Structure 1
Amino acid sequence: MSATVQRHRDSPRVRRLARDHGVDLAGIRPSGRHGRATSTDVLTFAAASAQPPSPAPTTAATSVRVERLSRRRRVIAERMHRSLQESAQLTTVIEVDLTHVVTVREAVKNEFRSRYGVSLSVLAFVAEAAVRALADHPVINAELDLGAGTVSYPSSVGLGIAVDTEDGLVVPVIRDAGDLTVGALARRIAGLAARAREGSATADDFAGGSFTITNTGSRGALFDTPILNTPESAILGLGAVVRRPVVLASETGEELIAIRSMAYLSLTYDHRLVDGADAARYLTSVKTRLETPGRSWADSVGVQEVAR
């Protein structure tokens, strides 16, 4: 039976509805009894026909600049990805009051710069406290070899300092960092960072690391979750130092509000070796050293001490 004859079987109402909507009944797939089109068929077809066609894809007006990865950027990318693949990383964060540190730094920073030509940074104080605390928490400075089923505990601390350069992040190492004062660490950090940024650092400057610190607050970040510099088992992040009100307890036990210099310390560690309790105990040790007002900070950065 031809389509024309078939359409004559549609009801007058359906044919009228089709004319009103400009629908050719021959193009409709009928859903009614005996192959007849229904009003719903007509209205559905008309609605579908009224939809504007999807626009053809157009070429973007702006161009895309494509660059090859630099050798250093490729190495960084590969190491960061491998670090996440090879270890079970977890981050614990603690808040620390750096008011005493900031007070000491403000008192001696001008004399320090005048004598040595470098800045006495808060990072140096944190690095000294972090390294000293490793002596009481050696697992933070250890290295796991899961394949061999062994844990290695270095006799000294190779302190890696993450440095932001134009070519990407690099981590030069301060060897035997546990023997250095705040002033000595400040000078070593400044010297390594300068060589790394100038491109004059040697391969020897990057060897021997066992624990790393990254100053994530140098660009204003409160804290982050650093990625391990494998095969090391931990990395400490220092967030921005921020002046803000905090609740303190007076000597009489009363609570009071004071403006303090606060910062976050974040420790990322390999959970295959370091437990959360280990990380918390280590961070508490670092916090205690930084918050103790009676410490010999001045001796550690003063003229007599740093003149060695």
Structure 2
Amino acid sequence: MPAFFAKWATLMAESTAVRILLPESLAGDAKALLPKNNHLELVFCPTNDSWVRDYGPTFVHDSEIGGLVGIDWHYNAWGGKYPPWDADDAAAARICDHIGIPAIRSKLCLEGGAIETDGQGRLLTTPECLITSTRNPDWSSEAISQELHAQMGVTEILWLSGGGLVGDDTDGHIDQLARFLDPCNIVVAVCDDPNDPNHKPLEDNYRQLRLWGETSEPKVNVHRLPIPAKREVDGQRVPESYCNFLMLGRQRLLVPTFGQPAADEHAIAVIRELACGAQVESIDCQDLIWGLGALHCASRDQPKACEA
């Protein structure tokens, strides 16, 4: 896996600055794998795993201070599934300190992969990842909504309730199920095989999103993005979804592929048609998905401080 991460970081660094979290003990190994590039920076920070999307800060613009702040959510490794998680829970504050912005600690237990926004006040999530006794005991959906509004300025929430992917240990992260490409276009994971156990829950998600998209303002167009056929690793199905793509600003978009050419090419074509001229590139994630996540899960994007 170090070779995969080095290749991925190098690819991203062609157009954007990349910071890589790692323990200082691995600095020599990382430097040996990575090219000399001013867009690549090693940041020494202890962590328990690689899924920085979930424990890293959620960046928001704070009008009162006139700049970025990082929301530091409570984190407990997807409802206490994989101890220890103390280093991960401390990472968001360390990241904010490194880049010189305030960190705001929230009492809400939330993983970054569990939320998806259009950047204009609308948010998609799933109840299984937030309204649970393992993450937020004694929190109602109303209380959670109020906290999301207070910390992120969220004004509209869709609780997508169809269900998640077989093999997904996050309980149904939205970044595997539905993503905004822009405020008026969403891609949603679907399964075209009626015999696959993913078929019904994903169709339910699709129908719910379609109904919501027609009534939300501005209207949202919902596009089907079929998942590849079932694949298992060591007897366990892996949750492969093309929704786990990564946007690199407005110019580039990286799509995970899974070694199924027809399905991979169809997904790339769907996303390319909706990408508003951005360069769409693929990266083979057959190895990364063994950890039950892909590109979006293993990254945390930081917006420019000067953006309004």
TM-score of the superposed pair, with normalisation by structure 2: 0.24
Report which of the two has the higher share of helix: 1
| Structure with the larger strand share | 2
